[in-house]
Structure 1
Amino acid sequence: METPKGKTPKMANWGMVELHRNSVNWAKVVEEIVRIEKRVFPKHESLAKSFEDEIKKKNTGLLCSQIGGEVAGYIMYSWPSSLYASITKLAVKENYRRQGQGEALLKAAIEKCKSRNIHRISLHVDPTRIAAMNLYKKLGFQVDTLVERYYSSDRNAYRMYLDFDTD
């Protein structure tokens, strides 16, 4: 795997991995991802209990970044049709944030979707998660609409999308 230019020495030994059921260290990596999932997302938003079921679903992709053999972050996405994909999860461990991990994961998922000739990627984000909002906007996502009570009775979400040229 290649190292992004301009990253700190701490980031020099990292790579992006696409996980499949037959991937090396599958169980260990999924266990690490579930730990991150539990720490990052509120219990009612977490897929920790159903994570393995989620990644077994048809047309679901899972990418993770690893630093020195440790999972630094992951992104899960799905493409229910040949035209449309959805980013369902993106999380980076606290000690690896603000180092380009989230951006690298999102870019990798976008490229995977492009390679499948997907025309639109959408995602939902809590409007109070400013860093996440800024990342999505930086990579070209636009706010589509506010979805009230998306996460809970008192938490909304923006639905955001990224369209690709279909020339």
Structure 2
Amino acid sequence: MGSSTSGVITELQRNSNSWTKVVDEIVKMERKIFPKHESLARHFDEELKKKNSGMLYIHMDGQVVGYVMYSWPSSLSASITKLAVKESDRRQGHGEALLKGAIEKCRTRKVQRISLHVDPTRNAAMNLYKKFGFQVDDLIQGYYSPDRPAYRMYLDFDSN
């Protein structure tokens, strides 16, 4: 899987030598980017050890600059649970490369739908998902916190 930038997309393997280093870098990113109650920092290891979940990350100049987590709880649907790019590395195609990679990974599992949740005020994220064909399904009140809703978005695949 290539990317439009000089970063390399890698799938995090549970038994890899770089597991601890990569997870540590991602946990630091999580803490910087997301409010405490939205951050998976404390539960990252558990999340990634779940059977039907995966993660791709982009490595550049020896650092993780972005990552995407996804899961496929059933044969019908998958979800993108987290997509983040370091602030200093945004607007360079990393988010797009990661999203594309996650969609491909989900497709290989023959799921019919991928869903995700996004903060309606995050325009860059909204535009990225729409570019890939995601559609807004519903506004979920209080998704992130009592005063922060989320759009539930989905992408359906043809059943061929």
Question: TM-score, structure 2 length as denominator?
Answer: 0.97
Identity %: 66
Separation in structure 2 between the aligned mates of residue 26 and residue 73 of structure 1, nearest angstrom: 15
3-state DSSP class of the match of 1:123? strand
SS of corresponding position for 1:117: coil
- Quote how far apart the aligned CAs of 1:24 are: 3.1
Distance 2:95 2:115 in 1: 16
- Kindly report which structure 2 residues correspond to 1:108-147, keeping only aligned pairs within 5 A, or say none: 108-147=101-140
Q: Which residue of structure 2 aligns with residue 52 of structure 1? A: 45
2:146 is aligned to 153
1:29 counterpart = 2:58 = no
Does residue 71 (structure 1) correspond to residue 67 (structure 2)? The answer is no
Matched with 2:2 is: 2
1:22 CA displacement: 1.2
- How many residues are matched? 160
Q: Could you say what secondary structure the match of 1:128 adopts?
A: coil
Distance 1:3 1:110 in 2: 14
CA-atom RMSD, angstroms? 1.0
Corresponding residue of 1:7 = none
How far is the alpha carbon of 1:3 from its aligned partner? 4.5
Q: Aligned runs of 1:74-85 on 2, under 5 Å? A: 74-85=67-78
SS of the equivalent of 2:15 reads coil
TM-score (norm 1): 0.93
Secondary structure class of the residue paired with 1:122: strand
